Amino acid sequence: MLEKKDIERIADLASIKLSDSEAEKFAGQLDGILQYVDKIKEVDTEDLKPTLYPVSLENIFREDEVRPSLDREKVLTNAPEEKDGQFRVPRIMGE
Amino acid sequence: MELCDLTIHELREKLENKEVTAADVLDSFLRRIEAVEEKVKAYVTITADEARERISSDLQGSLAGIPLALKDNISTEGIRTTCSSKMLENYIPPYNATVVEKLNEEGAVILGKTNLDEFAMGGTTGFSAFHETRNPWNLEHVPGGSSGGSAAAVAAGEAAAALGTDTGGSIRQPAAFCGLVGLKPTYGTVSRYGLLAYANSLDQIGPITRDVEDAALLLNVITGHDPKDSTSVQMEQADYTAFLKEDLAGMRIALPKEYYELDYNPEVKESVLAAVKKMEAEGAVVEEVSIPSIEHSVAVYYILATGEASSNLACYDGVRFGYRSKTAGNVAEMFRNTRSEAFGEEVKRRILFGTYILSAEAYEDYYVKAQKVRTLLIKEIEDVFKNYDLIVTPTTPETAFKAGAITDPLESYKMDAFTVPVNLAGIPAITIPCGFSSANLPIGIQIMGPRFGEGKLIQAAYSLEKILQLGNKRPELEVR
Amino acid sequence: MSRKYETIIGLEVHVQLATESKIFCNCSTDFGAEPNKHTCPVCLGLPGTLPVLNKKVVDYAIMAGLALNCNINSYSKFDRKNYFYPDLPKAYQISQSDYPICENGYIEIDTEEGTKKIGITRIHMEEDAGKLVHEGSIDQATASLVDYNRTGIPLIEIVSAPDIRTPSEARAYLTQLKQILQYIGVSDCNMEEGSLRCDANVSIRPVGQKEFGTKTELKNMNSFRAVERALEYEVERQRKILEEGGEIIQETRTWDESLNKTISMRTKEEAADYRYFPDPNLPPLNVDRDWVERIKSSLPELPREKRERFVREYALPEYDAGVLTDSRELADYFEACVKEYSDAKAVSNWIMGDFLRLLKEENLEIAEVKMTPAHLSGMLKLMDEGVISSKIAKTVFEEMFKTGKAPEQIVEEKGLKQISDAGQLEEIVLKVIEANPSVVEDIKSGKDKAIGFLVGQVMKETRGKANPGMVNQIIREKIESL
């Protein structure tokens, strides 16, 4: 059962600000979806391993080689805010 | 027919025979875009200037001078890549996806970036933050999605072919809705490097084309091992055009009874079964099989896809690129406001659901459980392929519906029932048109093959395409 | 710490691996580049990019695991740790959760009660985050700047078992850990550049109690000494709280070096939910036996083994062996000398004395020292042959150290050869005897010690070059014959 307070907690984890009415609406919808997917619990999956990767590859590596990095100008072209070659963000502390 | 209504192979022939120039071809497509784009709205960004610039050089390769469109979740250096989201409205990637590099090497001309459901989440292309795309067969109807822009562009003659991406049916469903061929390759055969991820373990890039031959041609270009994608499979470069032959004799075809017992649009079911009959008449062996856990596909899909998506879409935080909220006193608030203001409702819904799925309280019961059911489904499908070459189903339970007809999220998710098992199993599947509804809307038939079974898939689809002879039918857009 | 309480400490150490390129992309790991010059679409977390694992990272992690007596898991995988922070580009860190590469190891440390094993629960690989610079102090700043050069630098996190019982054991553990990792060359363990970082979990419990007390996590300790002091402070703080009937709050505390105390970092304590799940972009690892054996055979002798061997093989005191094996480079230097000059204790004395003193004075790494081991053993041979005195040897040593010239050349150029010519020495001795009649009288009357003064005078006359043994003998002969 997903309720509004659950949605608010989840939204916090997902860093999405929700209005009261949005939280209310999503709670109803997501609870409906959850009830729908709940039916997989009936499937007998004993002795089955979870599929973590859709292809059976392992040990995929590259060699320890340095290649040129991106030009810093390009690194910063999309920056919403930059200063001294760095990305500028609002202060970390304080609510 | 104008040049822009031709297939890649037809255009290639005309270009090779010097009947036409690349400029003639490009002009034809640009004129068509000029004429119909206002109604179809297939594109997010049209790169006419870049395309003109490109054909001014001597293009070489198997796609030399062929105008193509790219779904706007494929990274293009210097050309904005938006995922049809406000989040990336002004994002200009500094790098090309591997498939873009490959198209460039083969001389393709990119006409633009096509519209999609925001971050590929949806089946109508109505969830684009910019505008809805409409179906060229009937402008009141959706083109499908999420690669609806790519499908609509090809159907309307606004591109000779296009690349889409398919996480749960996002190539095949719009291709079916728009009367086109759409191919979702085996997971690992086409590099995902530069595909803005929705769900990494399900996403694949593939072609949307006017016929099977074009699909094979594009597949030849975009497949191959890529050291930049750790899930890319080492394989010999295949020539898929070698499978363009009319031969169904002895081909073993399985029909999953779970799908044919379901209740859905009878016109779709009849059309698909009629096509199967014709394949049988050409020597194919058709039998009913059972894939019991296929009924859980949609549930498994939504759990896994949204779980992965909730993590993939966390990078959109307003720090390095993309949208940033202007109303934030501190960085945590900036994250929350940015993501609240720039993600659309469906994206938020899936991120929230996925976040819940991965949370400590739900992870074992849902995520791990879904991964186990995925194992079961893969096993059942593999078992079918021990005895059969192909599995045939409708591509979609309905034809293209009216824009705004389905509003309940869960109802829309259930529309993916026929396509999602393919992504869960990592197998290839192709959709080709098999008929038209009474409302003159295309119906698609889906053919699935075992992993790396693209060859046989193409052979079967090509044979069926020749039998059905629907290929030259084009939507009549009353706009020219 | 009173006997009433027992301290439980566990350490989490992050170590930067000494690879050339980052863990998932080809950007350089060099320290000190201008901000964001070592970044690319992958380590910036630009949408659509994918990680590809650097094989050297796995090799190094296995190497560290073997050196720390761990089991190397044949199956291991990468997981995403999801949280939002501006220095974390993808908003998830690629790490290892339930299947780390190494588990169940230990380190042996020396304590007052003897050797003690400290368990190592696990070692896992992960990517580092970027660096935040605050415009002003962190709590006053209006904005922060992010540099992603460090993002994606390979790390291993080494998690100890809660086996450490005192702050000084914690320090010994860290010292030993650092020494081992430097020995095997997987990290430079430079704390100033952040290539070794340590967090500590600490709790106390009444002696005899089985359950652990509530722990606090300590961060921001920039030296081993700081770790020790922060732990001392924290143990004392917790004890006071308990003795006053209070309760320890589970929290993260930061060590403030200037105030000499730990400060609570968070007011509201919410259990983080990192939503770990396997990263579908990175296929799992299968480390087979061959791979482990290959790395095992490439491992150098580890510090403790080396120390024990030095005691055994060279008959050195424990103390000498400890100093000489402090770093692999020093031990190698010592052994190269001993190869050519068999009196190991003599070599040890020179290395532990003048060599280390000069190294420190000149602020050099061993690799930078110009004097070769052959030079040192050559000098020792010259001493044995009586070509130079031990006093002159000091001069020769300093000169070798500073110039890298061979000892023979220095002796030659500076005319430092010992005077062992009896006739020449007799002459000087006679002169000295003549000049010091009262001292001679003292000696004659039995004050044997006074002979040293005359020897000293002869050395002074010869600027130290006289063969002291011969001088001594000649003086005795001459005085007796007077």
Interface B-C, measured as beta-carbon pairs within 8 A, has a size of 100
C321 and C463 in a single domain? The answer is no
For the cut 50, the answer to whether the pLDDT of residue B265 exceeds it is: yes
Let me know if residue A67 belongs to a domain.
no
pLDDT at C270: 60
DSSP string computed for C111-147: ETTEEEEEEEEEEEEEE---EEEESSSTTT-SEEEEE
pLDDT tens digits along C380-418:
999 888 788 888 899 899 999 999 999 999 988 887 787
User: Pick the residue with more confidence: C439 or B35?
Assistant: B35
- CA C335 from chain centre, in angstroms, equals 19
Domain that holds residue C223: 5-292
Q: Provide, as residue numbers in chain B, all residues whose Cβ is less than 8 Å from the Cβ of C80.
A: 311
Confidence label for C447 from pLDDT (cuts 50, 70 and 90): confident
* pLDDT band at residue C424 using 50, 70 and 90 as cut-offs: confident
Same domain, C116 and C253: yes
Portion 454-473 of B in contact with A at CB < 8 A: none
Q: Report CA dihedral (B430, B193, A87, A72) to the nearest 10 degrees.
A: -140
- Same domain, yes or no, for C198 and C261? yes
Which carries the bigger pLDDT value, residue C415 or residue C435?
C435
pLDDT at C460 > cutoff 90: no
Note the pLDDT of residue C386.
79
A78 Cα to chain C: minimum distance (Å): 10
Closest CA to C69 of C208, C164, C176, C175: C176
- In angstroms, the CA C199 to CA C14 distance is 8
pLDDT at residue B459 greater than cutoff 50:
yes
- Looking at the structure, tell me whether residues C84 and C180 fall in a common domain: yes
**With bands split at pLDDT 50, 70 and 90, how would you rate the model's confidence at B140?**
very high
| Chain-chain contact of C47 with B196 (C-beta, under 8 angstroms) | yes
Q: What is the per-residue pLDDT for C2? A: 55
Half-sphere exposure of residue C12, counting CA atoms within 13 Å on the CB side?
Answer: 12
Name the closest residue on chain C to residue A85, using Cα atoms.
C35
Q: What is the largest CA-CA distance in chain C?
A: 100
Residue B438: pLDDT band by 50, 70, 90 thresholds?
very high
> What does the pLDDT read at residue B28?
98
> Which of the residue ranges B144-148, B422-426, C403-407, C447-451 would you say has the lowest mean pLDDT?
C447-451
- Does the pLDDT of residue C44 top 50, yes or no? yes
Residue range(s) defining the domain that contains residue A14: 4-41
Q: What is the pLDDT of residue C144?
A: 93
pLDDT tens digit sequence for C292-342: 999 999 999 999 999 999 999 999 999 999 999 999 999 999 999 999 999
Question: Which sign, positive or negative, has the C-alpha torsion C186, C191, C192, C195?
Answer: positive
pLDDT of residue C266: 66
Q: Among all residues of chain C, which has the CA nearest to that of A81?
A: C145
Kindly state whether residues C316 and C183 are assigned to the same domain.
no
In the predicted structure, residue A92 carries a pLDDT above the cut 60: yes
Is the pLDDT score of C242 beyond 90? yes
Distance of CA B187 to the CA centre of its chain: 13
ipTM of the complex: 0.97
Q: Residue A4 pLDDT > 80, yes or no?
A: yes
pLDDT in tens, A16-68: 999 999 999 999 999 999 999 999 999 999 999 999 999 999 999 999 999 99
Q: Does residue A69 fall inside a structural domain?
A: no
Mean of pLDDT over chain B:
96
**pLDDT of C192:** 86
CATH number at residue A13: 1.10.20
Instruction: Classify B217 as helix, strand or coil.
Output: helix
- Distance CA(C76)–CA(C78), nearest Å, equals 7
Does residue C135 share a domain with residue C278? Answer: yes
**Cα–Cα distance for residue pair B290/B270, rounded to 1 Å:** 20
pLDDT of residue C138: 66
Contacts of range B23-31, beta carbons closer than 8 Å, 24 or more positions apart: B23/B55, B25/B65, B25/B66, B25/B67, B26/B51, B26/B52, B26/B55, B26/B65, B26/B67, B26/B109, B28/B2, B28/B3, B28/B4, B29/B3, B29/B4, B29/B67, B29/B111, B29/B157, B29/B158, B29/B159, B29/B160, B30/B111, B31/B4
Residue C477's pLDDT is 86
Find which of C26, C46, C81 to mutate to test the B interface (most B CBs within 10 Å of its CB).
C46
Does B201 sit within 8 Å of A43, measured CB to CB? Answer: no
- Based on its alpha-carbon atoms, the radius of gyration of chain A, rounded to whole angstroms, reads 23
Q: Is C277 on the interface with B (CB under 8 A)?
A: yes
Nearest to B359 among C52, C273, C282 (CB): C273
Residue B455: band (very low, low, confident or very high) from pLDDT cuts 50, 70, 90: very high
Residues of B in contact with A50 (CB under 8 A): 368, 371-372, 374-375
Residues paired with C196 in a beta bridge: C15
CATH number of the structural domain spanning residue C473: 1.10.10.410
What is the average per-residue pLDDT within B445-474? 94
Let me know whether C83 and C204 are in one domain.
yes
* Catalytic sites of B, residue numbers: 71, 146, 170
Give me the numbers of helices (H) and strands (E) for chain C, helices first please: 16, 17
Domain count of the fold of chain A: 1
Tell me, yes or no, whether C83 and C170 share the same domain.
yes
Q: Which of residues 4-63 of B touch A (CB under 8 A)?
A: none
Q: Which of the listed ranges B216-220, B476-480, C465-469 does the model predict with the highest average pLDDT? A: B216-220
Segment C241-256 mean pLDDT = 92
Q: Give the N- to C-terminal CA distance of chain B in Å, as an integer.
A: 13
- Cβ separation C37–A69 shorter than 8 A: yes
Residue A18 lies in a domain: yes
Place of tokens 């589970």: C250
Verify that C447 and C402 share a domain, yes or no: no
User: Which residues on B lie below 8 Å from C284 (Cβ)?
Assistant: none
Q: Are residues C378 and C314 in the same domain?
A: yes
Which DSSP symbol is given to C301?
A: P
47-106 in chain C: CB under 8 A from chain A: 52-58, 77, 84, 86, 91
Give the count of domains, chain C: 3
What confidence tens digit (pLDDT) does each residue in C362-382 have?
999 999 999 999 999 999 999
Tell me the shortest Cα–Cα distance from B324 to chain C, in angstroms: 13
Does residue C49 surpass a pLDDT of 50?
Answer: yes
Query: Which pLDDT score is estimated for A39?
Result: 96
Q: Mapping DSSP to helix (H, G, I), strand (E, B) and coil, where does residue C236 land?
A: helix
Question: Domain-by-domain residue ranges, chain B?
Answer: 3-252+392-468, 295-373
ω into B146 cis (within 30 of 0): yes
Res. C459 pLDDT band, cuts 50 70 90:
confident
pTM: 0.92
Domain end: C382, C414, C446, which one? C414
Q: Which DSSP symbol is given to B476?
A: -
- What is the structure's pLDDT at B478? 60
* B316–chain A Cβ distance below 8 A for any pair: no
Does one domain contain both C35 and C138? yes
| Mean pLDDT to the nearest integer, B211-217 | 98
Per-residue confidence (pLDDT) for residue B480, from 0 to 100: 41
Q: What is the mean pLDDT of residues C158-184?
A: 96
Q: What CATH number does the domain located at B3-252+392-468 have?
A: 3.90.1300.10
